[in-house]
Structure 1
């Protein structure tokens, strides 16, 4: 195996580990909630803490690689990931589990951008498209396999295995990084904007905490201070941004309608789907008494639909344009979510299959079109800066979607029965998935040069 394919293997293995850690623990949420006697709104922090860890270190990962060397950083990150995974499975309290998930996310956030940069620099021109195809394949295989495998572990063993199962993979990635990545000294880089990073992280954490507290029934007295703190940190970052020449997030890039709409689409489709899928896991296991493994199998249907959509978008993008593809993706995705309202018993498997197929096709069209469209307006250094905005939004979409829908469900549950609360939450999610419709007209006409 040549050096560049060894580097690509390390990156893809790390990316696979990251993907399964977003989707595999979700299928174990009902068991985790029962073990620690918490409600489903608080259980979302198993995912939120991981995403926050990713968001915290991603912007500084390339600077750390320049200071320590890519080989050392990648190996250390996967060793840290393995230790954190062990800690998650051994946690004897919910706070310990959340701390372990935060550390897992921080370790994974070090490998992904550094490994991607190393890999893409070694594959140029048409060869880069092959690597991109492998990345998309991993992004589909991991969500397809991990929920069903995680469900099997939960049904046949116990929930800690959804974390312990990552340890051999993380150790393998650490060993391969140490053996295969060349020890090349890093290039000196300017000190990153740590104050900006602190303000952005505080704003996101406070927003998620406020929504989770309100959804868990703690009332506005607890939620409002958190939401106010999040808003204050966001305003302080905007002020900080205007006064510094090297802010960690370049807000002026949001003047690009393509980037702005693509980010909005990602919140409305993959973000909303994350919340819908998490709610549906609780609904199928707690209300309809399906096993964890059976619940996870529906993600295979979703992945098959998303794979078909990925192939379609690759062929149709330049002919149909982003606006039409966004519209089609949103309509199919929301129709799939609406189908969940009709599910009343474990015998409605055909409705669940149809719902996940539609969500997969619509989600695949929307997400892949957004990925293609987001950075079209940028070149050179601006591409890297826009990529930071795009990836931060992409990661936070998963947490915000889950926090929002769990909050909605718990508020409805106070007034309605369990089944009706689930159904109304799904109906509202279908409507929320259509919110970017009002922004599609801002997209400019396709530029033939982009093709």
Structure 2
């Protein structure tokens, strides 16, 4: 195996670990909620804390890699990850679990952007689309197997083993990082933008807290205060960005229509799906009384549909272009979400099969196209900066999607019974997933946009 494929393998293992932490832990949330006696809106912080840890460390991950070496940082990240998932499994209280999930996010957040930047700089031109396809293949395999495995673990043992099961993969990634990576350190490094990092983290944390509180049994004033604080931190970062030469997130890169549109798509498809899937898990387990194992198995249908879509996109991307693929993906994905509105009884398994299959096909088209399109305008050091933005966006979309639709469901639950509230939430999600249709005109025509990518 040559060097660039060794680096790609390290990145793909890390990416796989990140994906299974989202989907495997999700299927365990009803069990965690019951065991630790917390509400559905509060238990979402098992995911949110992980995202916040990622968000805190991702912007400085490339600086740390430059300062201490990619080999050392990636190895350390996986060792931190290993220790924290072990502590997650040992957690005796909800707050303890949330704290260790935050630490786990810090460990994972070091590997993803550094590994992606190293990999994408080794695969240029037409090879970029091929490595993107490998990335999306991992993004499909993880959702296909991890919820089912997680469901089996929850049904037969305990949700704690959902966390313990990560340990072999993170130790393998640590070992390969130490023995395979040989990147030289730059001779000079700019100091990291710590103030910018704190502002970005505070903004995300406040906004997520606001959505969680507004959907739960808390006074509305507390939620409004958190959202207002989040918006204030956003405004402060914009002021800081204008004054700081090397701000932690280079917003000028968003002038790339390929990157900005891909970001919007990621909120509308994978982000929305994360929220919809979380609501579906609670609906199927708590309302229709499905087992965790059966609930997790529906993700196999999603992954199968997404795999078919991924193979198709890999063949037609350069001929059709991102705009048409994005549009098709959104329409099919939202149709699948809308189909969940027809599920009302345990016997409606056929409807669930159709829904998850459609969401998989639409999600595969949208996510694969976004992954391929997002970094096409960048090379060299700009790839690192764009990778930071892309990975923060990717993680934030998952967390925002989950928090948003939990909030919407809990608000609807005050007016409707459980099943109608779930159905209304699915309807709103289907509409939200179509919002980027209004932005498609900003993308260049297919031939002009992708002529550099031969089929």
TM-score band by shorter chain is: over 0.9
| Cα distance, 1:182 vs structure 2 | 3.9
SS at structure 1 position matched to 2:451: helix
2:286 is equivalent to residue 286 of structure 1: yes
- Aligned residue for 1:177? 177
Q: Does the C-alpha gap of structure 1 residues 388 and 117 become closer, same or farther in structure 2, counting only changes over 3 Å?
A: closer
Query: Map of 1:200-349 to 2, 5 A cutoff?
Result: 200-349=200-349
Q: Residue 65 of structure 1 contacts residue 186 of structure 1 at CA under 8 Å; is this kept in 2? A: no
1:350-385: CA deviation from partner (whole Å, max 9, x where unpaired): 111100010011111111222233334445544443
Query: Map of 1:135-174 to 2, 5 A cutoff?
Result: 135-174=135-174
Q: Does the C-alpha gap of structure 1 residues 250 and 178 become closer, same or farther in structure 2, counting only changes over 3 Å?
A: closer
SS at structure 2 position matched to 1:344: coil
2:106 is equivalent to residue 106 of structure 1: yes
Q: Does the C-alpha gap of structure 1 residues 130 and 256 become closer, same or farther in structure 2, counting only changes over 3 Å?
A: closer
Q: Does the C-alpha gap of structure 1 residues 2 and 254 become closer, same or farther in structure 2, counting only changes over 3 Å?
A: closer
Q: Does the C-alpha gap of structure 1 residues 388 and 169 become closer, same or farther in structure 2, counting only changes over 3 Å?
A: closer
2:105 is equivalent to residue 119 of structure 1: no
Structure 1: runs of 5 or more not aligned: none
Q: Residue 258 of structure 1 contacts residue 373 of structure 1 at CA under 8 Å; is this kept in 2? A: yes
Q: Residue 412 of structure 2 contacts residue 421 of structure 2 at CA under 8 Å; is this kept in 1? A: yes
Give the Cα–Cα distance (whole angstroms) in 1 for the partners of residues 129 and 417 of structure 2: 50
- Aligned residue for 1:41? 41
Query: Map of 1:3-82 to 2, 5 A cutoff?
Result: 3-82=3-82
TM-score (ref. length: structure 2): 0.94
- Aligned residue for 1:409? 409
Comparing 367-376 with 279-288, greater Cα deviation is found at 367-376
| Cα distance, 1:168 vs structure 2 | 2.1
- Aligned pair partner of 1:449 in 436, 448, 451: 451
1:216-256: CA deviation from partner (whole Å, max 9, x where unpaired): 12132111111111011100110011111111222233333
Give the Cα–Cα distance (whole angstroms) in 2 for the partners of residues 375 and 177 of structure 1: 24
Q: Residue 16 of structure 2 contacts residue 139 of structure 2 at CA under 8 Å; is this kept in 1? A: yes
- Aligned residue for 2:191? 191
| Cα distance, 1:196 vs structure 2 | 0.9
Give the Cα–Cα distance (whole angstroms) in 2 for the partners of residues 173 and 385 of structure 1: 23
Give the Cα–Cα distance (whole angstroms) in 2 for the partners of residues 280 and 317 of structure 1: 31
Q: Does the C-alpha gap of structure 1 residues 200 and 215 become closer, same or farther in structure 2, counting only changes over 3 Å?
A: same
Count of residues in correspondence between the two structures:
451
SS at structure 2 position matched to 1:24: helix
Give the Cα–Cα distance (whole angstroms) in 1 for the partners of residues 188 and 333 of structure 2: 45
SS at structure 2 position matched to 1:402: helix
Q: Residue 85 of structure 1 contacts residue 166 of structure 1 at CA under 8 Å; is this kept in 2? A: yes
TM-score (ref. length: structure 1): 0.95
Q: Residue 217 of structure 1 contacts residue 411 of structure 1 at CA under 8 Å; is this kept in 2? A: no
Give the Cα–Cα distance (whole angstroms) in 2 for the partners of residues 398 and 265 of structure 1: 12
- Aligned residue for 1:392? 392
Q: Does the C-alpha gap of structure 1 residues 269 and 185 become closer, same or farther in structure 2, counting only changes over 3 Å?
A: closer
CA RMSD of aligned residues (A): 1.9
| Cα distance, 1:124 vs structure 2 | 5.3
Comparing 90-99 with 253-262, greater Cα deviation is found at 253-262
Q: Does the C-alpha gap of structure 1 residues 118 and 393 become closer, same or farther in structure 2, counting only changes over 3 Å?
A: closer
Give the Cα–Cα distance (whole angstroms) in 2 for the partners of residues 42 and 348 of structure 1: 29
1:194-227: CA deviation from partner (whole Å, max 9, x where unpaired): 1111111110110000000111121321111111
2:371 is equivalent to residue 366 of structure 1: no
| Cα distance, 1:396 vs structure 2 | 0.4
Give the Cα–Cα distance (whole angstroms) in 1 for the partners of residues 235 and 408 of structure 2: 26
Give the Cα–Cα distance (whole angstroms) in 2 for the partners of residues 328 and 270 of structure 1: 15
Give the Cα–Cα distance (whole angstroms) in 1 for the partners of residues 390 and 90 of structure 2: 34
Give the Cα–Cα distance (whole angstroms) in 2 for the partners of residues 70 and 377 of structure 1: 24
Give the Cα–Cα distance (whole angstroms) in 2 for the partners of residues 379 and 180 of structure 1: 23
Give the Cα–Cα distance (whole angstroms) in 2 for the partners of residues 380 and 6 of structure 1: 20
Q: Does the C-alpha gap of structure 1 residues 305 and 200 become closer, same or farther in structure 2, counting only changes over 3 Å?
A: same
| Cα distance, 1:445 vs structure 2 | 2.3
Structure 2: runs of 5 or more not aligned: none
Q: Does the C-alpha gap of structure 1 residues 303 and 155 become closer, same or farther in structure 2, counting only changes over 3 Å?
A: same
Q: Residue 333 of structure 2 contacts residue 360 of structure 2 at CA under 8 Å; is this kept in 1? A: yes
| Cα distance, 1:344 vs structure 2 | 1.0
SS at structure 2 position matched to 1:319: helix
SS at structure 2 position matched to 1:415: coil
Q: Residue 17 of structure 1 contacts residue 166 of structure 1 at CA under 8 Å; is this kept in 2? A: yes
